[in-house]
Homo-oligomer: A and B are copies of this chain.
Amino acid sequence: MPRPPSDAREKIVDATIRLLRRGGLSASGINDVLALSGAPKGSLYYYFPGGKQQMVSAALALYQERIADQFSAAMGGAGRLQNRVARMCLGIEQKMQATQFRESCAVGAVLLDLDEADEALREQCESILEGWAQVLKSHLPEVAAAKRPLAARQLISMIEGAQIMARVTRDPRPLRDIAPSFARVFG
């Protein structure tokens, strides 16, 4: 087949990220992605000959990078610890508000659809969380070096949990609660 439109890959990956955030693997079938992206089926198999698994993996890789950039911008900016964490959580809240609390973290959503057959995908999710933890660790100068792994892990854990709570209750408070508590423990 001729090379498909050059923006088709980007549209497919973007649509996959949105669907993963909304409902995990079970919401991001090939046909769902085609419908949301408007990309022709041929272009999906052109860019992702491995089908859904390859497409999801590419989407998660881009998602990892985007969130890492967002965390880095918020946590690496000026201000004391509590304000930087609050800024990071506000970024998450704004995304959730923009979708009426219908989208949350893609890793949390994918994870819950994994069965034993998807070990490669679980490993990718693990590596994404580890990558984010590295980013956070590098922006926690207030925290003693020995405590940074714990602080980074707990911050990610709090963010994952708050997204679930916020999504169920359609209330951003669980995200807003994070910064004061985190700063109290680690500041």
Query: Lowest 10 A-B CB distances belong to which pairs?
Result: A161-B161, A26-B26, A160-B161, A157-B161, A109-B112, A160-B164, A181-B185, A157-B165, A157-B174, A125-B168
Q: How far is the CB of A15 from chain B (nearest CB, A)?
A: 16
Q: Are A168 and B112 in contact (CB under 8 A)?
A: no
State whether the Cβ of A150 lies closer than 8 Å to any Cβ in chain B.
yes
A107 to B169, CA, bound (A): 12
Main secondary structure of the interface of A (DSSP, over half): helix
State whether the Cβ of A27 lies closer than 8 Å to any Cβ in chain B.
yes
Within A92-114, the residues touching B (CB, 8 Å) are 102, 104, 107-109, 111-114
Q: Are B26 and A126 in contact (CB under 8 A)?
A: no
State whether the Cβ of A159 lies closer than 8 Å to any Cβ in chain B.
yes
**Copies in the assembly, this chain:** 2
- Which residues on the B side are within 8 Å of A165 (C-beta)? 129, 153, 156-157, 160
The one of B27, B122, B185 in contact with A113, judged by C-beta atoms closer than 8 angstroms, is: B27
As a 0/1 sequence over residues 149 to 187 of chain A, the CB contacts with chain B under 8 angstroms (1 = contact) are: 010011011111110110111000110010001001100
Q: How far is the CB of A21 from chain B (nearest CB, A)?
A: 9
State whether A168 and B26 are in contact (beta carbons under 8 Å apart), knowing that A153-B174, A185-B184 are contacts in the complex: no
